[in-house]
Amino acid sequence: MSWEQLEFGGTCTLKGIYEKPAQPDPEVPLIVTLPGFGQAMSEKNYLFSNLRKKLSPYGARVLQFDYRGHGDSEGELGDTGLSDMVSDTLEAIAAVCAEGRPRTIYLVGHALGAAVALIAAAELKRERQAACVPVLISPLLKALPKSAELFDSGRLAQMKRAGRIDSQELAPGMDYYTWSDFDPRHLDYFARLGSHMLYLHGQCIGSRMLDELDRLDGAKLFREHEGEAVVVCGEADEDTIGELGRLGRFGPSGLNGRLERPARQEQAGPSDQFRQPGSPDKPESTSEFEQPGPTDQSEELRQVSQSVQPGPSGTPLSVHLLSGVRYYYQHPAAMDELIGIIEHLWLTGCGSGTEGKTDGR
């Protein structure tokens, strides 16, 4: 295997890392990783970097890159909108597919990156390029609250005039350990976007981004996707599980298959790193950074479920639940589970007959 640093892009220079076999086969499936808002290509806890290294021995093609205004790429976060993240994704794919079109592209998107994956998959389908399989990690299926309902009206007016605002003015707070001085609604909003306030503060958020997020309909994107799709979320992610049920795509009555997950050494419980000192064992509400324990969902929903009701095109949807968490980064074992799920998808071709090659291994 070999990897190289990439630079590409038209309006601004984007940076990425591309891993491929020493003797690349252009038909080998390509994995493109899409972080959440304000996150660099390494994502939280180096999820995507660890995934790339895990798949490297199999001869996988893996592309990590930074959207404009993120990580090492040019631009400012305050000038970046959702539409820019999509166009950057399409440019990144075009850059690595110049050597040959893969038969399948896996678009692995976290949070807002999952919305990017669905939009990019639709665009690639229109262009009649390779088949796309979105792998949606904690996707934004439930509508986000509107910015006018969530943020201070004076701050929003200031943002409108200037076109951007420092994120610390929009979502103030200084206590990054216990989050005691943050509005929990702000924490939840940005957690659902895949952001971390510690890294988001000090950067600006653009008015255009908030406008696009106000218009974003993740459930509609999900309903309209034609082709295979994979959803991975925590078993405590009631937003995602509830929306899948509302869309008729998940629930005890919809299960017709099951993929048992490996047994964990221990059930994830409260994490000392993220819980407030002196907080109860079972808090009344769980923020982005608190570690939830098992929920009261039925045993049906606690299983890792596969082959749930098909979408409108008759193609399968796979749903995988990470035990004991709402978000994968709340427990190291949950991130290991997530990487294992994607590894399995690549090796088996997600049941589509597009099996990943193992480079002789």
Q: From the CA atom positions of the chain, what is the Rg in Å?
A: 20
What is the predicted pLDDT for the residue at 346? 85
Q: Is 287 exposed, middle or buried (0-12, 13-18, 19+ CB in 10 A)?
A: middle
Q: Look at strands 30-34 and 61-65 and give their pairing.
A: parallel
Q: Cα(46)–Cα(52) distance, rounded to whole angstroms?
A: 10
Q: Within 13 Å and on the Cβ side, how many CA atoms surround 92?
A: 32
pLDDT for 66-81, tens place per residue? 999 998 899 999 999 9
Overall average pLDDT of the 268-272 stretch: 32
Q: Within 13 Å and on the Cβ side, how many CA atoms surround 163?
A: 6
> Could you write out the DSSP letters of every residue in 222-282?
HHH--S-EEEEEETT-HHHHHHHHHTTS-SGGG---B-PPPPPSS-----TTTSPTT--SS
- For residue 15, the SS3 value is strand
Amino acid at 49: S
Q: How far is CA 97 from CA 14, 105, 120, 233, in A?
A: 16, 10, 15, 30
Is there a contact between 171 and 190 (Cβ–Cβ < 8 Å)?
yes
What's the N-to-C CA distance of the chain in angstroms? Answer: 13
Q: Cα(157)–Cα(164) distance, rounded to whole angstroms?
A: 10
pLDDT for 31-58, tens place per residue? 999 999 999 998 878 999 999 999 988 8
pLDDT for residue 292 is more than 80: no
Q: Cα(308)–Cα(167) distance, rounded to whole angstroms?
A: 39
Q: Cα(57)–Cα(1) distance, rounded to whole angstroms?
A: 7
Overall average pLDDT of the 260-275 stretch: 34
Q: Cα(361)–Cα(269) distance, rounded to whole angstroms?
A: 38
Buried b (16+ CB within 10 A) or exposed e, 24-50: eeeebbbbbbbbbbbbbbbbbeebbbb
Alpha-carbon torsion angle 120, 81, 72, 141, nearest 10: -50
Is there a contact between 121 and 221 (Cβ–Cβ < 8 Å)?
no
pLDDT for 296-352, tens place per residue? 433 444 443 444 444 444 456 889 999 999 999 999 999 999 999 999 988 886 434
User: pLDDT-based confidence at 248, cuts 50/70/90?
Assistant: confident
What are the chain's domains?
2-144+213-351 (3.40.50.1820), 147-210 (no CATH)
What is the predicted pLDDT for the residue at 271? 32
Residue 312 tokens, joined: 């409108």
What is the predicted pLDDT for the residue at 25? 75
pLDDT for residue 355 is more than 50: no
Q: Is 349 exposed, middle or buried (0-12, 13-18, 19+ CB in 10 A)?
A: middle
- For residue 185, the SS3 value is helix
Length of the chain in residues, anyone? 361
Is there a contact between 45 and 329 (Cβ–Cβ < 8 Å)?
yes
DSSP state of 343: H
